[in-house]
Amino acid sequence: MSEPLVSVVMPAHQAAATIGAAVSSVLWQTYRPLELVVVDDGSTDETSAIAEAHQGPVRVLRQEQRGVSAARNAGIDAARGEVITFCDADDLLFESHLEALAQTFRRAGGGIATANSYWLLPGGIHPSKRRYKGGFPPHDQQRLAILEQNFVSTMSLFSRTLVEEIGPFDEQRRRAEDWDFWLRAIYAGHRVTLQPEPLSLYRWGTQSLAADWRQMDAEVEAIFVGLEDRVDLTESERLYVLRRRSGHGPRQLSRDGDEALHARRYRDAARAYREAAALCSSERMLVWKARLLTPAPRLIGPLVRARQLRIERRLRIETGHMR
């Protein structure tokens, strides 16, 4: 039985510094057949020219700048494959990434297969800095988990019929558009299966959209406005959404905890991590920090701080990288 054509959609804007490596990493995949659809979202640099210089199954589409959601939708519309996945223009795929993801998709019988990745930081990669480090939400817990955080990578594989069923990416959202998309998919009954081996690099830098964390936070929390009118929530899910809207989200609380930890305010750090973990129990690191610090913050705090600083210094993680 022949493998299905996989269309890799790559939204790109002002990506001349990184798109060459991203395109090359797609074209060296061991999986076949595939095609790469690059959508240049109004770049004024050499983004399109660099993508077009590559030999292989790559097409470049140009559009006026309309945002990442519109670029994803344009790429899906132009795709010829039965199955869709994304590789953003600053990410990198190891050569077996797509083959492993397709195997996971096939074994799961469809749905959504999501990929593990190393975070690519200015100082390189570290075993502790992976997209998934265990504890991936089981299928029967994914409705609540997707409310707590976006546990689905953009580097996921899904049938194009999913878009026909739940609709395209919301072009009003310039950030967190993928979270909204995966949330709608899960609440429509689709489930996510993890390919656990990290076979890609997800760039986590101050130049990315996600680095503007204040704006990102606002757009993340906007997902919860009127959510009960868009998806069918259970009573416990509705209460969670109300609780989430009543104060700071777990991203802000986690950053508050990190800042307090850095400043040696260990009790404040413990409290912030505890509040964040209560809102996001599926995030293992938050739960670990909260449980470790709460009993004796002044005793355990210096040890946790020293560990965190060692990793941050090694990887040159600055304040702008903190999530």
pLDDT per residue as tens digits for the range 59-87: 999 999 999 999 999 999 999 999 999 99
Quick one: tokens of 206? 């101050």
pLDDT for the residue numbered 210: 44
Assigned domain for 237 exists: yes
Assigned domain for 159 exists: yes
pLDDT for the residue numbered 1: 61
Number of Cβ within 10 Å of residue 120's Cβ equals 19
Q: Are residues 178 and 41 in the same domain?
A: yes
Question: Could you tell me the residue range of the domain that residue 281 belongs to?
Answer: 215-318
Query: With 90 as the cut, is the pLDDT of residue 23 above it?
Result: yes
pLDDT for the residue numbered 320: 45
Last residue of one domain, picked from the residues 211, 226, 260: 211
Assigned domain for 41 exists: yes
Supply the mean pLDDT for the chain: 90
pLDDT tens-digit map of 190-236: 999 999 999 999 987 544 434 467 777 888 888 998 898 889 999 99
Q: What is the mean pLDDT of residues 8-17?
A: 97
> Considering the chain, what percentage of its residues have pLDDT values greater than 70?
95
Q: What is the mean pLDDT of residues 130-142?
A: 87
Assigned domain for 1 exists: no
Taking CA 148 as the corner, what is the angle to CA 138 and CA 274, rounded to the nearest 5 degrees?
110
pLDDT tens-digit map of 158-169: 999 999 999 999
Contact by Cβ (8 Å): 36, 4: no
Burial (0-12, 13-18, 19+ Cβ within 10 Å), 213: middle
pLDDT for the residue numbered 120: 85
Number of structural domains, the chain?
2
Q: Are residues 95 and 15 in the same domain?
A: yes
Q: Are residues 190 and 287 in the same domain?
A: no
What are the residues whose beta carbons fall under 8 Å from the beta carbon of 148, sequence distance 6 or more?
240, 250, 279, 280, 281, 282, 283
pLDDT for the residue numbered 314: 77
Q: What is the mean pLDDT of residues 100-124?
A: 92
Q: What is the mean pLDDT of residues 242-249?
A: 89
Q: Are residues 27 and 107 in the same domain?
A: yes
What are the residues whose beta carbons fall under 8 Å from the beta carbon of 133, sequence distance 6 or more?
284, 285
Last residue of one domain, picked from the residues 211, 235, 254: 211
Q: Are residues 305 and 176 in the same domain?
A: no
pLDDT for the residue numbered 219: 83
Query: With 50 as the cut, is the pLDDT of residue 142 above it?
Result: yes
Among the listed residues 265, 225, 216, 268, the one whose alpha carbon sits nearest the alpha carbon of residue 244: 225
Q: Are residues 243 and 273 in the same domain?
A: yes
Query: With 80 as the cut, is the pLDDT of residue 306 above it?
Result: yes
**Range scoring the smallest mean pLDDT among 17-26, 148-157, 205-214:** 205-214
Q: What is the mean pLDDT of residues 28-43?
A: 97
